[in-house]
Amino acid sequence: MSGLNQLIIAPILLPLLTAALMLLIGEKHRWMKARLNLLSTFAGLAIAVSLLIWVRNQGQAESIGVYLPGNWAAPFGIVLVVDHLSALLLVLTGIVGSCALLFARARWDGAGASFHALFQIQLMGLYGAFLTADLFNLFVFFEVLLAASYGLLLHGSGRARVKAGLHYIAVNLFASSLFLVGAAMLYGVTGTLNMADLALKIPLVPEADRGLLHAGAAILAMAFLAKAGIWPLNFWLVPAYSSASAPVAALFAIMTKVGLYAVLRLWSLLFSGQAGASAHFGGDWLVYGGLATLAIAAVSILAAQRLERLAALSILVSAGTLLAAVGFGQPLLTGAALFYLASSTLALCALFLLAELVERSRSANEAPLEDEEGAMPSPLESLHPPKGINLDDEQKAVIGQIIPWTMAFLGLSFIACALLIIGMPPLSGFIGKLNLISALFNPQGLGMAPTQSLGAAGWVLVTLLLLSGMAALIAFGRVGIQRFWKPEERPSPLLRRYECLPIVILLSLCVFLSLKAEPLLRYTQDTAAGLQAPDAYINAVMATRPLPGPTTANAEVQP
């Protein structure tokens, strides 16, 4: 990876340097910080896309790039790795970050201090978590993104945000403590924290120490699963996400995937079929935990009244689906789950942004925007009905009224988000769920004999996928009727271009995923195949050698 080798560290360094520069600029030049934030975020997305294109264009065995920031060989030094899985999540992070920032530029970035610096630090933590290849630095990047998320969650103040933020901080500090305990136990048993080296050491652990190894892995998994939103450790997520400002909640839509990524990466790497007596340790718990999360979230969605809460509960539905699918440990099912992850992340991000605009329409613009420059045109007034049109008791046309285009935009966007999250055709949410169900009903593709049955867990997952979709259909239908069809006399909300553009981009990307589903499914299936056979990842990390220094190079050329 000679040409792009140095580019692996760029997604981490770029937001770090940008945040440092913003702190030097100060709050007086907020416009400059906003533009610098946009430039840096777009540049990070471009770098992520470049890494994904490189990974995709390489052969399966050569599609792993390794960078040694300290020029120390593994397992002693810091290692950054980009492969199919990390590249996919880097691109999703860049897309979500760019759209959330565009939306925030309308007014939210001025609701508190240091928004732009915290935003860049959050991106740095996310990019670093997806690139690092050792547990210690995974913990560091977890803490970086969580520290930034504490400030972003409280951005804009308010009683609800402070209350939810305190719960959010307490739970994540407890999860971080579990992370340290679990990592320390793994280090005590194996003597290493490098993920590739752990994969080599775990099969060699003596039987007397295997119980301690499994206990450490279980404690570590609890930390990741708490951050991923598994039931019953997810009580903090819905209040926190539904109380956050719209752009922050949209950015948090990708943050939950960090816990899922850590579970998938470590479980497939450390407890693969090559892990000896520890092979597939904990897989059943992932399946059962995912099914429980999916079931509880589906029931909770039926009671949701606010659109923000509906979006937060939809994150739990997505998390439960992904955890259960990953726990089966089958490439075909994991590939379908990764496609579903991409589609659901984009749809949920759009829904969080849309929720604020829809709720604004209920308040009839009682709180006007500070600066009306750039606002959308005012809605058209209903015309007087021509002769022959039926009138109601208040002399208004029963039919033939002109729908203000702002409400039409909100309504159509709401329908698109609902179709994506429910999993109805023809959008990518339907394709993701269809491939999940298809994989479950394909025993040969799951590595089983044709005579083997799906199993109780498989049937439960299929049932819950269908029932959760029906629950979401009922919930979205009810909220849609209340927000768009309920007869109320109120003007349409004023919308800014910065607020509409991100929603259009996200939904357009979901349409693009629907039209180009086959290439992405091939990519996710290749990703799942690489996770199933981690030898390429292990060999790439352990075989990377430090670059020779000037002294070494001079010594080699001397006679």
The whole-number pLDDT of residue 454 equals 65
Looking at per-residue confidence, does 59 or 494 come out higher? 494
The larger pLDDT score, comparing residue 257 to residue 57, is at 257
Question: CA 379 to CA 374: how far, in whole Å?
Answer: 15
pTM of the model: 0.85
* Percentage with pLDDT > 90 across the chain: 20
pLDDT in tens, 86-112: 999 999 999 999 999 988 887 776 666
Assign 1 a pLDDT band (cuts: 50, 70, 90). Answer: very low
Residue 108's closest CA among 376, 434, 353, 390?
353
Q: Which of 18-22, 53-57, 317-321, 388-392 has the lowest mean pLDDT?
A: 388-392
Q: Is the pLDDT of residue 386 over 80?
A: no
Q: Is 272 helix (H, G, I), strand (E, B) or coil?
A: coil
Instruction: Calculate helix-pair angle for 331-362, 497-515, nearest 10 degrees.
Output: 150
Task: Flag whether pLDDT at 208 surpasses 50.
Answer: yes
pLDDT of residue 207: 86
Q: Compute how many other C-beta atoms are within 10 angstroms of the C-beta atom of residue 61.
A: 11
pLDDT band at 347 (very low <50, low <70, confident <90, very high): very high
Cα separation, 108 vs 248, in Å, equals 9
Instruction: Give the pLDDT of residue 235.
Output: 81
Assign residue 365 a region (left: φ > 0; alpha: ψ between -120 and 50; beta: otherwise): left
pLDDT, one tens digit per residue, over 426-446 is: 888 889 898 888 888 875 545
The full set of domain ranges for the chain reads: 5-364+403-543
**What number is the average pLDDT over the span 50-78?**
79
Prior bond of 75 cis (ω within 30°): yes
Q: Which range, of 185-189, 225-229, 285-289, 385-389, averages the lowest pLDDT?
A: 385-389
Q: Which residues pair with 134 in a beta bridge?
A: 194
| CA dihedral over 169, 175, 179, 181, signed as positive or negative | positive
- Hey, is 62 helix, strand or coil? coil
Region of poorest pLDDT, from 291-300, 388-397, 517-526, 530-539: 388-397
Length of the chain (residues)? 559
- Which is more confident, 151 or 556? 151
Residue 388 has a pLDDT of 45
Task: Give tens-digit pLDDT for 213-271.
Answer: 889 889 998 988 888 888 887 788 888 888 888 888 888 888 888 989 998 998 888 88
- Position 306 scores a pLDDT of 83
Rg (C-alpha) for the chain, rounded Å, is 25
Instruction: Give yes or no for residue 322 having a pLDDT over 70.
Output: yes
Most confident of 56-65, 163-172, 230-239, 415-424: 415-424
DSSP for residue 427: S
* pLDDT of the residue at 396: 45
Tokens of 435: 């491939």
User: In terms of pLDDT, which residue wins out, 406 or 292?
Assistant: 292
| Burial (Cβ within 10 Å: 0-12, 13-18, ≥19) of residue 506 | buried
- pLDDT category at 389 given cuts 50, 70, 90 is very low
User: For 497-520, what is each residue's pLDDT tens digit?
Assistant: 778 889 999 999 999 999 888 889
The C-alpha atoms of residue 297 and residue 348 are separated, in whole angstroms, by 15
Q: Classify residue 383 by its DSSP letter.
A: P
More confident call, 494 vs 471: 471
Q: What is the mean pLDDT of residues 160-171?
A: 81
Mean pLDDT of 189-205: 87
Residues 100 and 94: their CA atoms lie apart, in Å, by: 10
8 A C-beta contact, residue 259 and residue 320: no
Q: What percent of the chain has pLDDT over 70?
A: 83
Question: What is the rounded average pLDDT for all residues in the chain?
Answer: 81
- Residue 268 near residue 294 (C-beta atoms within 8 A): no
pLDDT at 402: 47
The single residue listed with the structure tokens 């992904």 is: 322
Tokens 């015309």 found at: 383
**pLDDT score of 378:** 41
pLDDT class of 359 with cuts at 50, 70, 90: confident
Tell me what the mean pLDDT of segment 144-155 comes to.
85
Q: Indicate the range of 3-12, 115-124, 303-312, 436-445 predicted with least confidence.
A: 436-445
Measured torsion, CA atoms of residues 404, 502, 249, 114, in degrees rounded to the nearest 10: -120
Residue with tokens 């997505």: 318
Q: 473 falls in which pLDDT band (50, 70, 90)?
A: very high
Task: Yes or no: say if 429 and 343 are a contact pair by the CB < 8 Å rule.
Answer: yes
**So what's the pLDDT on residue 37?**
87
Whether the pLDDT of residue 537 is over 80: the answer is yes
* Range with lowest mean pLDDT among 35-39, 354-358, 398-402: 398-402
Question: CA dist 317 to 292, 436, 466, 513, Å?
Answer: 10, 14, 12, 20
